[in-house]
Amino acid sequence: MLVSLNNINKFYNGAQVLNNVCLNIDENDRIGLVGNNGCGKSTLLKIITGSVEPDRFTEKDGIVSFAGKTSVGYLEQMGGLDSESTVMEEMQKVFEPVNKAIARLREIELAMADGDNSCDDEYHQLTSWVEAVDGYNTEVKIRTILSGMGFSEEELSRTVSGFSGGEKTRLCISKLLLEEPNLLILDEPTNHLDFKTIMWLEDYLRTYKGAILVVSHDRYFLDKLCSSICEIERGTLRRYRGNYSAFVRQREENDLRQEREYQQQQKEIAKMEDYVARNLVRASTTKMAQSRRRQLEKIERIERPVHDTKSAKIRFTYALEPPLDVLKVKGVDISVGEGSQKKTLVDTIDFEVRRGEKIGIIGDNGIGKSTLLKIIQELLPHKGIVRWNSNVKISYFEQESTHLNKALTVMEELHSRYPSMSDLEVRSLLAQVRLVGENVFKETGVISGGERAKLCFAIMMQEHGNVLILDEPTNHLDLSTKEAIEEALQEYTGTEIFVSHDRYLLSKIADRLIELTPGGYRLHNYGFEKYLDVLRDEQAEKKRQADAEKQAKAAETAKAQAAKTYRSKQQRSADAARKTKCAAWNVKLTNFRRR
């Protein structure tokens, strides 16, 4: 065991965030920590790392115990980096003790060359330690990690200050992986990472020699990495075995079982209370009634399962059935900017969409995915043909929600679009997407990104479009609402074209993919899981080719070196004659000096 938490309590402004939390972390654990925003996940991480103290009521409360061998590494967003260092210099700081030891070894070797052997013991100790920690391969380790995290060879000499926030986060992860603590604590590590980098990180962490505690909203990442999930809800922590999908299944099963047990107990309690009420005043049955009442007092009440957030009930419907061929895109360019500022991201793209297809659009940030969604709706100028068939009704989810009037309240926004709806109907619709209470009277410009997304879903439910176009629909949403959206998109029988970085959503929904690449695009007539398999095969092939090129280059270098050092038979004979002549002259010189 590396860490043990016992009876951890924490209060903020009089509200209890953590309530008697207990958790043991063993050497090879892969733990995912989940829960709604504000449930106490970050607070628990800070208590483990010592930056926040738990609240204590007795001597047995708030105990955080570490094994003597435990070393903790904590990912701080953009923290712990020297902005004036180059990337390679910053990474080398991890190996400062090793580099100092190697420098000392060179000093001792120079002294030994001059005949000073007084540091023999120190030399052997340092050599053994450097070899034990694989200290002669630090540069290989650094380049391997940085390459996996998406940094090119040219970027290794750049100063840290010149990188973006997302790139600095990737540098922090790289540095933390090089430190190799036996307890790795990561808070949203997949933010700012593309698919390829996330896949590399998943593979690396699966074989990591140590325990991992990770907070993430990336359910696909939690599925691939975690062997157990800890959920914080209403201040309490409950641990489930298995990955995220197993956790969802087990929680549903637990809720059903607990609900059955609760209902059964309520029936028994009601029966006993009825007996007591009817028989307590009758002399002949008073003792029996009092006995039942004592039994009621001793019963350990089963709590009804209640989650912090009720699931949203989202359902997209349509009445008008479009024809089989829905959309044709031919010779269209993807460009941004105007005039001299215009930049073409993709010269030409062609694809077709048929009724009922669910097409995911993927690619790196800034590659033109959102622009493509606007182009196919004729919202941006373009060359080529965009042709929608008849009977098509589009419902569009925009990532930035710019179509909302920021001056209107949530209810006013819906009333302005659907004036025939009563207040009760509007409140009922908003309740379905979990917009309730005072939030419905707030202006759309001040509500959170997640709340704006929910309002947009409510609007889409009223539009009854037979084609859904969605730009990052799960951004800003809590896990329960993400699951509700996925369920709604799975059940929807119309056509879907959506942009997303959410691999869990892509895996569940997309049956075809359009991948935008630098200067081009690729069509994948299969789902996301097959796409990942193809991507891994391509990456493996590129690695094989790169290794083959390195081996060929090394062979050429060795051949050239051998050619330089090659000597003919005549050259070897001449060298031997020179050596013999020199030896003879040395003998004569020695004899002359002796005289």
Hey, which residues does 24 pair with through a beta bridge? 4
Task: Name the token pair of 41.
Answer: 């996940």
Q: What is the pLDDT of residue 25?
A: 95
Share of the chain above pLDDT 70, in %: 94
Q: Which residues does 318 contact at the CB level (< 8 Å), separation at least 6? A: 393, 464, 465, 466, 494
- pLDDT tens digits, one per residue of 158-178: 999 888 777 888 899 999 999
Task: Report, as an integer, the average pLDDT of 312-332.
Answer: 94
Using pLDDT thresholds of 50, 70 and 90, give the confidence band for residue 185.
very high
CA angle 192, 489, 328 (to 5 degrees): 85
Rounded to the nearest integer, the mean pLDDT of the chain is 89
Report yes or no: 142 and 171 within 8 Å, Cβ to Cβ: no
- pLDDT tens digits, one per residue of 202-227: 999 999 999 999 998 889 999 999 99
Using pLDDT thresholds of 50, 70 and 90, give the confidence band for residue 79.
low
CA angle 527, 216, 8 (to 5 degrees): 150
Identify the weakest region by mean pLDDT among 173-177, 248-252, 445-449: 445-449
Radius of gyration of the chain from Cα atoms?
34
Identify the weakest region by mean pLDDT among 155-169, 329-343, 428-442, 549-563: 549-563
Q: What is the pLDDT of residue 76?
A: 62
Distances (CA, A) of 441 to 414, 444, 450, 451, 477: 12, 9, 16, 12, 20
- pLDDT tens digits, one per residue of 92-103: 999 999 999 999
- Give yes or no for residue 78 having a pLDDT over 50: no
Instruction: Pick the closest to residue 266 from 303, 222, 219 (CA basis).
Output: 303
**Domain positions in the chain:** 83-177, 247-298, 325-525, 531-595
Q: What is the pLDDT of residue 22?
A: 94
Report yes or no: 514 and 521 within 8 Å, Cβ to Cβ: yes
Give the architecture (CATH level 2) of 325-525.
3-Layer(aba) Sandwich (3.40)
- pLDDT tens digits, one per residue of 105-150: 999 989 888 888 888 899 999 999 999 989 999 999 999 999 999 8
Strands of 75-179, DSSP E: none
Question: Can you tell me whether residue 452 is helix, strand or coil?
Answer: helix
- Give yes or no for residue 509 having a pLDDT over 70: yes
Distance (Å, rounded) from C-alpha 20 to C-alpha 474?
33
- Using CB atoms within 10 A of its CB, is residue 305 exposed (0-12), middle (13-18) or buried (19+)? middle
Encode 1-69 in three state secondary structure: CCEEEEEEEEEECCEEEEEEEEEEECCCCEEEEECCCCCCHHHHHHHHHCCCCCECCCCCCCEEEECCC
Distance (Å, rounded) from C-alpha 351 to C-alpha 331?
9
Task: Report, as an integer, the average pLDDT of 50-76.
Answer: 88
Report yes or no: 107 and 82 within 8 Å, Cβ to Cβ: no
Residue type, 467: V
Alpha helices in 438-527 (DSSP H): 449-463, 479-491, 503-509
What would the DSSP string read from start to end of 243-262?
-HHHHHHHHHHHHHHHHHHH
Task: Name the token pair of 588.
Answer: 């004569």
